[in-house]
């Protein structure tokens, strides 16, 4: 192991433990019944742990100078989690400044990553980097464009947004975990969890769309 300072080691341990527990809780959320109190409590714990993962991830990059790619994957999972929570909280496409600020901030940080990546050279597989950037830009773009959807047509779209975004947060964590632990198998160790999560997203959305039709 590299010669990290005690504070850096504590940050890494906290990041790994919080992320691992969040993955286990996320898996439990997928398996348990949706909409009941257990689901809601588990969802809150998942978000609390996600906040810890985001904070320690940002500390790793900004305070300890670790891999900048972690900044991108942290922002992706963080934005998915935040937007997924906001979706279930407001259940509409009304405009709130906090959502606008979060989206703009996510794009600015992603833009900084692109600048930094070009400056020092890409050290992660291009397919991993650009697919992660693409996922972030797509979800932020949708969040801005949804304000143009008439309320009469928006209806229950918030429900499917919530599914998509919370799965996105879980998948980003899983992808980061697999990509770091199985770094020698890049880019597949990063991409396969993303494919798995995307299939789950589609499956659950189709299931509930048919159930609600």
* Angle made by CA atoms 166, 110, 77, in degrees to the nearest 5: 20
pLDDT at 7 over 70: yes
Average pLDDT of span 44-53: 93
pLDDT at 150 over 80: yes
Sequence-ordered alpha helix ranges (H) in the chain: 6-31, 37-62, 69-90, 97-120, 126-145, 151-154, 157-181, 188-212
pLDDT of 122 reads: 58
First-to-last alpha carbon distance for the chain, in angstroms, is 54
Most confidently modeled of 16-25, 26-35, 172-181?
Answer: 16-25
The predicted model scores a pTM of 0.87
* Angle made by CA atoms 108, 117, 52, in degrees to the nearest 5: 60
pLDDT of 125 reads: 67
Cα 23 from Cα 34, distance rounded (Å): 17
Q: Do 83 and 102 contact (CB within 8 A), yes or no?
A: yes
Q: Do 195 and 128 contact (CB within 8 A), yes or no?
A: no
CATH architecture of residue range(s) 6-212 = Up-down Bundle (1.20)
pLDDT of 67 reads: 60
The pLDDT tens digits for 166-190 are 999 999 889 888 877 887 887 788 8
The pLDDT tens digits for 52-89 are 998 888 888 777 766 666 677 778 889 999 999 999 99
Q: Do 156 and 182 contact (CB within 8 A), yes or no?
A: no
Q: Is 125 left (phi over 0), alpha (psi -120 to 50) or beta?
A: beta
The model's confidence at residue 6, banded by pLDDT at 50, 70 and 90, is confident
């Amino acid at each position: 192991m590299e010669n990290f300072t005690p504070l850096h080691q504590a940050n890494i341990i906290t990041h790994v433990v919080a992320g691992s527990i969040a993955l286990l809780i996320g898996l439990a959320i997928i398996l348990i019944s949706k909409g009941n109190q257990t689901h809601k409590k588990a969802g809150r714990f998942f978000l609390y742990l996600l906040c810890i993962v985001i904070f320690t991830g940002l500390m790793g990059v900004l305070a300890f100078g670790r891999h900048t790619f972690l900044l991108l994957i942290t922002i992706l999972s963080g934005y998915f989690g935040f937007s997924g929570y906001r979706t279930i909280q407001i259940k509409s496409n009304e405009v709130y400044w906090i959502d606008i600020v979060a989206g703009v901030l996510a794009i600015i940080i992603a833009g900084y990553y692109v600048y930094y990546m070009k400056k020092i050279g890409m050290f992660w597989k291009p397919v991993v980097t650009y697919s992660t950037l693409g996922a972030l830009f797509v979800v932020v773009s949708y969040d801005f464009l949804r304000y143009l959807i008439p309320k009469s047509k928006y209806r229950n779209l918030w429900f499917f947004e919530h599914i998509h975004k919370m799965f996105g947060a879980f998948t980003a964590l899983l992808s980061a975990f697999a990509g770091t632990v199985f770094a020698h198998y890049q880019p597949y160790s990063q991409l396969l969890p993303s494919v798995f999560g995307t299939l789950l997203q589609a499956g659950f959305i189709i299931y509930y769309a048919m159930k609600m039709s």
